[in-house]
Protein backbone atom coordinates (compact mmCIF):
# COMPACT_ATOMS: atom_id res chain seq x y z
CA UNK A 1 0.00 0.00 0.00
CA UNK A 2 1.21 3.46 -0.72
CA UNK A 3 0.22 7.00 -1.34
CA UNK A 4 0.33 8.45 -4.83
CA UNK A 5 1.60 11.98 -5.41
CA UNK A 6 0.96 13.79 -8.66
CA UNK A 7 3.01 16.98 -8.99
CA UNK A 8 2.61 19.61 -11.62
CA UNK A 9 1.73 17.13 -14.34
CA UNK A 10 1.34 18.27 -17.93
CA UNK A 11 0.54 16.23 -21.00
CA UNK A 12 0.38 17.25 -24.61
CA UNK A 13 0.22 15.24 -27.78
CA UNK A 14 1.75 16.35 -31.00
CA UNK A 15 -0.43 16.06 -34.02
CA UNK A 16 0.34 16.66 -37.65
CA UNK A 17 -1.30 19.77 -39.07
CA UNK A 18 -3.46 17.71 -41.39
CA UNK A 19 -5.02 16.08 -38.37
CA UNK A 20 -5.22 19.15 -36.22
CA UNK A 21 -7.48 20.86 -38.74
CA UNK A 22 -10.15 18.38 -37.78
CA UNK A 23 -9.83 18.74 -34.03
CA UNK A 24 -11.92 20.96 -31.86
CA UNK A 25 -9.34 21.92 -29.26
CA UNK A 26 -7.91 24.75 -31.33
CA UNK A 27 -7.59 27.08 -28.37
CA UNK A 28 -5.11 24.74 -26.70
CA UNK A 29 -2.87 24.28 -29.69
CA UNK A 30 0.61 25.65 -30.07
CA UNK A 31 2.08 25.56 -33.53
CA UNK A 32 5.65 24.39 -34.04
CA UNK A 33 6.82 23.51 -37.49
CA UNK A 34 4.85 20.73 -39.10
CA UNK A 35 3.14 19.51 -35.95
CA UNK A 36 0.96 21.18 -33.38
CA UNK A 37 1.07 20.36 -29.67
CA UNK A 38 -2.34 19.71 -28.21
CA UNK A 39 -2.42 20.26 -24.49
CA UNK A 40 -4.57 17.59 -22.85
CA UNK A 41 -3.64 17.99 -19.16
CA UNK A 42 -2.40 21.11 -17.39
CA UNK A 43 -1.09 21.78 -13.91
CA UNK A 44 -2.40 18.61 -12.28
CA UNK A 45 -1.54 18.37 -8.57
CA UNK A 46 -3.02 16.01 -6.03
CA UNK A 47 -2.15 13.34 -3.48
CA UNK A 48 -4.06 10.10 -3.02
CA UNK A 49 -3.49 9.04 0.57
CA UNK A 50 -2.50 5.50 1.47
CA UNK A 51 -5.66 3.38 1.30
CA UNK A 52 -7.79 6.20 -0.06
CA UNK A 53 -10.43 5.83 -2.79
CA UNK A 54 -10.14 8.85 -5.09
CA UNK A 55 -12.62 9.29 -7.93
CA UNK A 56 -11.65 11.32 -11.00
CA UNK A 57 -14.86 12.56 -12.57
CA UNK A 58 -15.55 14.84 -15.52
CA UNK A 59 -17.18 14.95 -18.93
CA UNK A 60 -16.00 12.80 -21.78
CA UNK A 61 -12.76 14.07 -23.32
CA UNK A 62 -11.60 16.08 -20.28
CA UNK A 63 -8.44 13.95 -19.85
CA UNK A 64 -9.37 11.37 -17.21
CA UNK A 65 -8.11 8.32 -19.08
CA UNK A 66 -4.95 10.16 -20.09
CA UNK A 67 -4.22 10.95 -16.45
CA UNK A 68 -4.82 7.35 -15.41
CA UNK A 69 -2.62 6.09 -18.22
CA UNK A 70 0.14 8.45 -17.09
CA UNK A 71 -0.12 6.99 -13.60
CA UNK A 72 0.04 3.47 -15.01
CA UNK A 73 3.04 4.31 -17.19
CA UNK A 74 1.19 3.66 -20.45
CA UNK A 75 1.86 7.23 -21.58
CA UNK A 76 4.90 9.47 -21.17
CA UNK A 77 4.69 12.63 -19.07
CA UNK A 78 5.23 15.95 -20.83
CA UNK A 79 6.06 17.54 -17.49
CA UNK A 80 5.84 16.94 -13.76
CA UNK A 81 6.36 14.01 -11.41
CA UNK A 82 4.50 10.97 -10.22
CA UNK A 83 5.48 9.28 -6.98
CA UNK A 84 4.20 6.03 -5.51
CA UNK A 85 5.18 5.80 -1.86
CA UNK A 86 8.72 7.17 -1.81
CA UNK A 87 9.54 6.12 -5.35
CA UNK A 88 9.63 8.49 -8.29
CA UNK A 89 8.04 6.37 -11.02
CA UNK A 90 8.23 8.81 -13.97
CA UNK A 91 10.66 6.63 -15.87
CA UNK A 92 9.56 3.19 -14.70
CA UNK A 93 7.79 0.90 -17.18
CA UNK A 94 4.22 -0.14 -16.28
CA UNK A 95 5.29 -3.54 -14.94
CA UNK A 96 7.66 -2.00 -12.42
CA UNK A 97 5.12 0.44 -11.00
CA UNK A 98 3.20 -2.12 -8.96
CA UNK A 99 -0.19 -0.81 -10.05
CA UNK A 100 -3.02 -2.89 -11.48
CA UNK A 101 -5.39 -1.38 -14.01
CA UNK A 102 -9.01 -2.38 -14.71
CA UNK A 103 -10.49 -1.22 -18.00
CA UNK A 104 -14.03 -0.61 -19.20
CA UNK A 105 -13.78 -3.36 -21.81
CA UNK A 106 -12.42 -5.98 -19.35
CA UNK A 107 -9.37 -6.82 -21.51
CA UNK A 108 -9.42 -10.53 -20.66
CA UNK A 109 -7.38 -13.01 -22.70
CA UNK A 110 -10.05 -14.73 -24.82
CA UNK A 111 -8.17 -18.04 -25.22
CA UNK A 112 -7.43 -18.48 -21.51
CA UNK A 113 -9.98 -19.72 -19.01
CA UNK A 114 -10.90 -17.57 -16.03
CA UNK A 115 -8.45 -19.34 -13.72
CA UNK A 116 -5.57 -18.69 -16.10
CA UNK A 117 -6.71 -15.12 -16.73
CA UNK A 118 -6.48 -14.40 -13.02
CA UNK A 119 -3.24 -16.37 -12.64
CA UNK A 120 -1.61 -14.73 -15.67
CA UNK A 121 -0.08 -11.74 -13.90
CA UNK A 122 1.17 -13.97 -11.08
CA UNK A 123 2.94 -16.36 -13.42
CA UNK A 124 4.75 -13.65 -15.33
CA UNK A 125 8.46 -14.51 -15.51
CA UNK A 126 8.36 -17.15 -12.85
CA UNK A 127 8.94 -20.10 -15.19
CA UNK A 128 12.52 -18.84 -15.55
CA UNK A 129 13.02 -19.41 -11.83
CA UNK A 130 11.69 -22.98 -11.75
CA UNK A 131 14.10 -25.87 -12.29
CA UNK A 132 14.11 -27.55 -15.73
CA UNK A 133 12.70 -30.69 -14.12
CA UNK A 134 9.77 -28.79 -12.68
CA UNK A 135 9.09 -27.08 -16.02
CA UNK A 136 9.23 -30.50 -17.71
CA UNK A 137 6.76 -32.01 -15.23
CA UNK A 138 4.39 -29.09 -15.66
CA UNK A 139 4.58 -29.40 -19.44
CA UNK A 140 3.94 -33.13 -19.71
CA UNK A 141 1.06 -33.17 -17.21
CA UNK A 142 -0.61 -30.02 -18.54
CA UNK A 143 -3.20 -31.93 -20.59
CA UNK A 144 -4.11 -34.46 -17.91
CA UNK A 145 -7.27 -33.99 -15.78
CA UNK A 146 -6.75 -31.17 -13.32
CA UNK A 147 -6.32 -33.34 -10.25
CA UNK A 148 -3.42 -35.24 -11.90
CA UNK A 149 -1.36 -32.27 -13.08
CA UNK A 150 1.99 -31.49 -11.53
CA UNK A 151 1.96 -28.31 -9.45
CA UNK A 152 5.17 -26.68 -8.35
CA UNK A 153 5.28 -24.89 -5.01
CA UNK A 154 4.89 -21.59 -6.86
CA UNK A 155 1.94 -22.90 -8.84
CA UNK A 156 0.33 -24.10 -5.61
CA UNK A 157 0.63 -20.66 -4.08
CA UNK A 158 -0.88 -19.21 -7.26
CA UNK A 159 -3.75 -21.67 -7.00
CA UNK A 160 -4.40 -20.56 -3.42
CA UNK A 161 -4.33 -16.94 -4.46
CA UNK A 162 -6.71 -17.50 -7.41
CA UNK A 163 -9.11 -19.40 -5.14
CA UNK A 164 -8.98 -16.70 -2.49
CA UNK A 165 -9.70 -13.97 -5.04
CA UNK A 166 -12.46 -16.05 -6.66
CA UNK A 167 -14.16 -16.49 -3.30
CA UNK A 168 -13.82 -12.79 -2.55
CA UNK A 169 -15.65 -12.01 -5.79
CA UNK A 170 -17.95 -15.05 -5.73
CA UNK A 171 -16.77 -16.37 -9.06
CA UNK A 172 -15.54 -19.80 -7.91
CA UNK A 173 -18.00 -21.57 -10.21
CA UNK A 174 -16.70 -19.70 -13.27
CA UNK A 175 -12.99 -20.56 -13.01
CA UNK A 176 -12.88 -23.13 -15.80
CA UNK A 177 -14.99 -21.23 -18.33
CA UNK A 178 -13.72 -19.07 -21.17
CA UNK A 179 -14.41 -15.30 -21.09
CA UNK A 180 -16.90 -15.61 -23.98
CA UNK A 181 -19.05 -17.86 -21.77
CA UNK A 182 -19.49 -15.08 -19.19
CA UNK A 183 -21.90 -12.16 -18.92
CA UNK A 184 -20.58 -8.58 -18.84
CA UNK A 185 -20.90 -8.36 -15.08
CA UNK A 186 -19.07 -11.65 -14.59
CA UNK A 187 -16.28 -10.58 -16.94
CA UNK A 188 -15.83 -7.35 -15.03
CA UNK A 189 -15.58 -9.31 -11.76
CA UNK A 190 -12.86 -11.43 -13.34
CA UNK A 191 -11.01 -8.30 -14.47
CA UNK A 192 -11.22 -7.01 -10.90
CA UNK A 193 -10.03 -10.41 -9.67
CA UNK A 194 -7.01 -10.25 -11.92
CA UNK A 195 -6.11 -6.86 -10.48
CA UNK A 196 -6.68 -7.96 -6.88
CA UNK A 197 -4.71 -11.21 -7.31
CA UNK A 198 -1.51 -9.30 -7.90
CA UNK A 199 -1.92 -7.46 -4.60
CA UNK A 200 -0.61 -4.24 -6.11
CA UNK A 201 0.12 -1.04 -4.23
CA UNK A 202 -2.45 0.84 -6.28
CA UNK A 203 -5.61 0.04 -8.25
CA UNK A 204 -6.33 2.15 -11.31
CA UNK A 205 -9.85 1.72 -12.69
CA UNK A 206 -11.07 3.35 -15.89
CA UNK A 207 -14.88 3.40 -16.11
CA UNK A 208 -15.08 -0.28 -15.14
CA UNK A 209 -18.88 -0.26 -14.83
CA UNK A 210 -19.82 1.55 -18.03
CA UNK A 211 -20.69 -1.60 -19.96
CA UNK A 212 -23.03 -2.98 -17.31
CA UNK A 213 -26.79 -2.48 -17.12
CA UNK A 214 -28.13 -0.08 -14.50
CA UNK A 215 -28.98 -2.61 -11.81
CA UNK A 216 -25.74 -4.52 -12.11
CA UNK A 217 -23.85 -1.26 -12.11
CA UNK A 218 -25.33 -0.32 -8.74
CA UNK A 219 -24.55 -3.76 -7.29
CA UNK A 220 -21.00 -3.87 -8.61
CA UNK A 221 -20.41 -0.31 -7.45
CA UNK A 222 -21.21 -1.32 -3.89
CA UNK A 223 -19.09 -4.44 -4.23
CA UNK A 224 -16.03 -2.49 -5.40
CA UNK A 225 -16.35 -0.04 -2.51
CA UNK A 226 -16.67 -2.89 -0.02
CA UNK A 227 -13.68 -4.74 -1.46
CA UNK A 228 -11.57 -1.62 -1.46
CA UNK A 229 -12.36 -0.97 2.20
CA UNK A 230 -11.49 -4.59 2.98
CA UNK A 231 -8.21 -4.62 1.03
CA UNK A 232 -7.29 -0.99 1.87
CA UNK A 233 -5.53 -0.64 -1.47
CA UNK A 234 -5.01 2.94 -2.66
CA UNK A 235 -7.41 3.40 -5.59
CA UNK A 236 -7.86 5.91 -8.39
CA UNK A 237 -11.21 5.38 -10.09
CA UNK A 238 -12.25 7.18 -13.27
CA UNK A 239 -15.86 7.81 -14.23
CA UNK A 240 -17.99 10.35 -16.13
CA UNK A 241 -20.93 9.50 -13.89
CA UNK A 242 -21.47 11.92 -11.02
CA UNK A 243 -23.56 9.38 -9.08
CA UNK A 244 -20.66 6.92 -9.08
CA UNK A 245 -18.36 9.68 -7.93
CA UNK A 246 -20.66 10.76 -5.11
CA UNK A 247 -21.31 7.25 -3.84
CA UNK A 248 -17.86 5.67 -4.20
CA UNK A 249 -15.16 8.20 -3.47
CA UNK A 250 -13.57 9.15 -0.17
CA UNK A 251 -12.75 12.24 -2.17
CA UNK A 252 -13.69 13.39 -5.65
CA UNK A 253 -11.48 15.24 -8.11
CA UNK A 254 -13.71 17.03 -10.61
CA UNK A 255 -11.96 17.61 -13.95
CA UNK A 256 -12.84 19.76 -16.91
CA UNK A 257 -10.89 20.60 -20.01
CA UNK A 258 -7.61 19.09 -18.81
CA UNK A 259 -7.60 20.69 -15.39
CA UNK A 260 -8.75 19.75 -11.94
CA UNK A 261 -11.54 22.06 -10.82
CA UNK A 262 -11.88 20.92 -7.22
CA UNK A 263 -10.83 18.05 -4.96
CA UNK A 264 -12.86 17.39 -1.82
CA UNK A 265 -15.08 14.81 -0.10
CA UNK A 266 -18.38 14.22 -1.95
CA UNK A 267 -20.66 16.26 0.30
CA UNK A 268 -18.28 19.18 0.41
CA UNK A 269 -18.22 19.22 -3.39
CA UNK A 270 -22.02 19.12 -3.43
CA UNK A 271 -22.55 21.77 -0.79
CA UNK A 272 -19.61 24.04 -1.58
CA UNK A 273 -18.81 23.71 -5.28
CA UNK A 274 -15.77 25.82 -6.14
CA UNK A 275 -17.20 27.11 -9.39
CA UNK A 276 -20.19 26.96 -11.68
CA UNK A 277 -18.76 24.03 -13.64
CA UNK A 278 -18.52 21.82 -10.54
CA UNK A 279 -21.93 23.06 -9.36
CA UNK A 280 -23.52 22.10 -12.66
CA UNK A 281 -21.73 18.78 -13.02
CA UNK A 282 -22.29 17.30 -9.57
CA UNK A 283 -25.93 16.82 -8.58
CA UNK A 284 -28.86 15.38 -10.48
CA UNK A 285 -30.85 16.94 -12.01
CA UNK A 286 -28.23 19.66 -12.38
CA UNK A 287 -28.25 23.01 -10.58
CA UNK A 288 -30.23 25.86 -12.18
CA UNK A 289 -28.49 29.14 -13.00
CA UNK A 290 -30.24 32.50 -13.24
CA UNK A 291 -28.30 35.61 -14.35
CA UNK A 292 -28.76 38.37 -11.77
CA UNK A 293 -27.44 41.86 -11.11
CA UNK A 294 -26.59 43.33 -7.75
CA UNK A 295 -28.83 46.43 -7.65
CA UNK A 296 -28.58 47.33 -3.94
CA UNK A 297 -26.12 46.11 -1.26
CA UNK A 298 -27.98 42.80 -0.71
CA UNK A 299 -30.45 42.78 -3.58
CA UNK A 300 -30.18 40.57 -6.64
CA UNK A 301 -32.43 41.35 -9.55
CA UNK A 302 -33.50 39.72 -12.80
CA UNK A 303 -36.27 41.65 -14.57
CA UNK A 304 -39.21 41.80 -12.08
CA UNK A 305 -37.60 39.27 -9.73
CA UNK A 306 -35.82 40.72 -6.69
CA UNK A 307 -34.17 38.68 -3.98
CA UNK A 308 -32.84 40.14 -0.76
CA UNK A 309 -30.03 38.05 0.60
CA UNK A 310 -29.26 37.31 4.25
CA UNK A 311 -26.78 39.73 5.82
CA UNK A 312 -23.78 37.34 5.78
CA UNK A 313 -23.57 37.62 1.99
CA UNK A 314 -22.51 41.27 2.24
CA UNK A 315 -18.83 40.47 2.85
CA UNK A 316 -18.75 37.83 0.08
CA UNK A 317 -20.40 40.18 -2.41
CA UNK A 318 -18.08 43.01 -1.54
CA UNK A 319 -14.97 40.83 -1.67
CA UNK A 320 -15.86 39.68 -5.18
CA UNK A 321 -15.88 43.27 -6.46
CA UNK A 322 -18.43 42.22 -9.08
CA UNK A 323 -22.01 43.17 -9.93
CA UNK A 324 -23.09 40.35 -12.26
CA UNK A 325 -23.65 36.86 -10.92
CA UNK A 326 -25.28 33.58 -11.62
CA UNK A 327 -27.70 32.62 -8.89
CA UNK A 328 -27.40 28.84 -8.49
CA UNK A 329 -30.37 26.90 -7.12
CA UNK A 330 -30.59 23.11 -6.98
CA UNK A 331 -33.91 21.60 -8.18
CA UNK A 332 -34.64 20.46 -4.62
CA UNK A 333 -34.39 24.00 -3.24
CA UNK A 334 -37.49 25.48 -4.87
CA UNK A 335 -40.98 25.23 -3.44
CA UNK A 336 -44.43 26.34 -4.60
CA UNK A 337 -45.49 29.65 -3.14
CA UNK A 338 -47.61 32.76 -3.64
CA UNK A 339 -46.95 35.60 -6.11
CA UNK A 340 -44.36 38.04 -4.76
CA UNK A 341 -41.41 39.85 -6.31
CA UNK A 342 -39.07 37.46 -4.45
CA UNK A 343 -40.58 34.49 -6.28
CA UNK A 344 -40.35 33.34 -9.88
CA UNK A 345 -43.41 33.01 -12.12
CA UNK A 346 -42.96 29.94 -14.31
CA UNK A 347 -44.95 27.97 -16.84
CA UNK A 348 -44.67 24.20 -16.71
CA UNK A 349 -43.36 22.46 -19.86
CA UNK A 350 -42.88 18.89 -18.66
CA UNK A 351 -43.88 16.84 -15.62
CA UNK A 352 -41.96 13.68 -14.72
CA UNK A 353 -43.56 11.85 -11.80
CA UNK A 354 -41.00 9.39 -10.41
CA UNK A 355 -43.17 8.32 -7.49
CA UNK A 356 -40.79 9.47 -4.77
CA UNK A 357 -40.63 13.00 -6.22
CA UNK A 358 -41.78 14.87 -9.30
CA UNK A 359 -39.42 16.70 -11.64
CA UNK A 360 -40.81 19.70 -13.42
CA UNK A 361 -39.24 21.48 -16.36
CA UNK A 362 -40.52 25.03 -16.66
CA UNK A 363 -39.61 28.36 -18.21
CA UNK A 364 -39.96 31.83 -16.74
CA UNK A 365 -43.41 33.02 -17.80
CA UNK A 366 -41.94 36.43 -18.72
CA UNK A 367 -38.86 35.05 -20.46
CA UNK A 368 -38.87 31.69 -22.18
CA UNK A 369 -35.08 31.73 -22.65
CA UNK A 370 -34.66 30.80 -18.97
CA UNK A 371 -35.50 27.18 -18.18
CA UNK A 372 -35.58 25.64 -14.73
CA UNK A 373 -35.79 22.09 -13.45
CA UNK A 374 -37.56 21.77 -10.13
CA UNK A 375 -38.04 18.81 -7.83
CA UNK A 376 -41.33 18.82 -5.92
CA UNK A 377 -42.98 16.39 -3.52
CA UNK A 378 -45.03 13.79 -5.44
CA UNK A 379 -48.40 14.88 -4.03
CA UNK A 380 -48.48 18.27 -5.80
CA UNK A 381 -51.13 18.24 -8.55
CA UNK A 382 -49.31 19.92 -11.43
CA UNK A 383 -49.84 19.53 -15.15
CA UNK A 384 -48.18 20.83 -18.29
CA UNK A 385 -49.20 24.42 -19.06
CA UNK A 386 -49.83 25.38 -15.41
CA UNK A 387 -48.50 28.74 -14.25
CA UNK A 388 -47.06 28.61 -10.75
CA UNK A 389 -44.84 30.68 -8.46
CA UNK A 390 -41.63 29.25 -7.14
CA UNK A 391 -39.89 30.37 -3.98
CA UNK A 392 -36.20 29.71 -3.32
CA UNK A 393 -34.75 28.35 -0.08
CA UNK A 394 -32.53 31.29 0.72
CA UNK A 395 -30.04 29.44 2.91
CA UNK A 396 -29.30 26.96 0.09
CA UNK A 397 -28.42 29.31 -2.73
CA UNK A 398 -25.06 29.65 -4.49
CA UNK A 399 -23.61 32.65 -6.27
CA UNK A 400 -21.01 32.53 -9.04
CA UNK A 401 -19.32 35.42 -10.76
CA UNK A 402 -20.29 35.78 -14.40
CA UNK A 403 -16.70 36.69 -15.16
CA UNK A 404 -14.96 33.44 -14.26
CA UNK A 405 -17.62 31.25 -12.65
CA UNK A 406 -15.94 31.32 -9.23
CA UNK A 407 -18.20 30.58 -6.26
CA UNK A 408 -18.54 33.46 -3.82
CA UNK A 409 -18.64 31.36 -0.71
CA UNK A 410 -16.69 28.19 -1.42
CA UNK A 411 -14.22 27.56 1.39
CA UNK A 412 -11.28 27.09 -0.94
CA UNK A 413 -11.86 30.25 -3.05
Between residue 345 and residue 364, which ones bind ligand ADP under the rule CB under 6 A? none
- Position 40 contacts ligand ADP (CB under 6 A): yes
Shortest separation between residue 169's beta carbon and ligand ADP, angstroms: 26
Residue 296 makes CB contacts below 8 A (sequence gap 6+) with none
Q: Which stretch binds ligand ADP (CB under 6 A): 26-34, 64-72, 147-155, 370-378?
A: 64-72
What secondary structure does DSSP assign to 344-396, as a single string?
EEEEEEEEEE-SS-EEEEEEETTEEEEEEEEEE-TT----TT-EEEEEE-GGG
- Position 66 contacts ligand ADP (CB under 6 A): yes
Handedness of CA 225, 226, 229, 232 (dihedral sign): negative
Contact 382, 351 (CB under 8 A): yes
Q: Which residue is nearest to ligand ADP (CB)?
A: 65
* Interface pick for ligand ADP out of 20, 46, 61, 154 (rule CB under 6 A): 61
Q: Which stretch binds ligand ADP (CB under 6 A): 58-66, 154-162, 219-227, 375-383?
A: 58-66
- Position 117 contacts Mg ion (CB under 5 A): no
Q: Which stretch binds Mg ion (CB under 5 A): 41-49, 57-65, 153-161, 355-363?
A: 57-65
Contacts with Mg ion by CB under 5 A: the residue count is: 1
- Position 280 contacts ligand ADP (CB under 6 A): no
Q: Considering only CA atoms, which of 255, 93, 102, 272 is closest in space to residue 190?
A: 102
- Position 64 contacts ligand ADP (CB under 6 A): yes
* Interface pick for Mg ion out of 12, 65, 358, 407 (rule CB under 5 A): 65
Beta carbon nearer to ligand ADP, 62 or 360: 62
40 binds, among Mg ion, ligand ADP, none (CB under 5 to 8 A by kind): ligand ADP
Q: Considering only CA atoms, which of 271, 300, 301, 302 is closest in space to residue 287?
A: 271
- Position 27 contacts ligand ADP (CB under 6 A): no
What would you report as the CA-atom Rg of the chain, rounded to the nearest whole angstrom?
A: 27
Residue 32 makes CB contacts below 8 A (sequence gap 6+) with none
Handedness of CA 73, 81, 5, 58 (dihedral sign): negative
3-class SS of residue 277: helix
- Position 343 contacts Mg ion (CB under 5 A): no
* Cα(244)–Cα(242) distance, integer angstroms: 5
Q: Which stretch binds ligand ADP (CB under 6 A): 53-61, 132-140, 281-289, 342-350?
A: 53-61
* Interface pick for ligand ADP out of 10, 13, 46, 335 (rule CB under 6 A): 13
Q: Considering only CA atoms, which of 199, 189, 200, 198 is closest in space to residue 166?
A: 189
Judged by the rule CB under 6 A, the positions of this chain that interact with ligand ADP are 13, 25, 38, 40, 58, 60-66
Amino acid sequence: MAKVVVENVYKSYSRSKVHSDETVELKNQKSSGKTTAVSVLRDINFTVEDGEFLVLVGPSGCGKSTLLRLLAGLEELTGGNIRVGDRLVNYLPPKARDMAMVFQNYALYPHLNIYDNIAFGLRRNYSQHESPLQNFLVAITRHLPRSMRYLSAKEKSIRDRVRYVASLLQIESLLYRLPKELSGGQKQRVALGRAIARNPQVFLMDEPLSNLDAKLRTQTRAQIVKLQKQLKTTTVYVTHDQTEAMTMGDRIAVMNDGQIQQIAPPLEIYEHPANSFVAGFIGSPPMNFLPVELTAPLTLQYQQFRLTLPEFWATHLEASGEKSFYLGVRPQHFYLDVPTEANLAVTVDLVEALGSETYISAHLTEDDSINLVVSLPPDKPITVGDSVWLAIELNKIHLFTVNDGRSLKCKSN
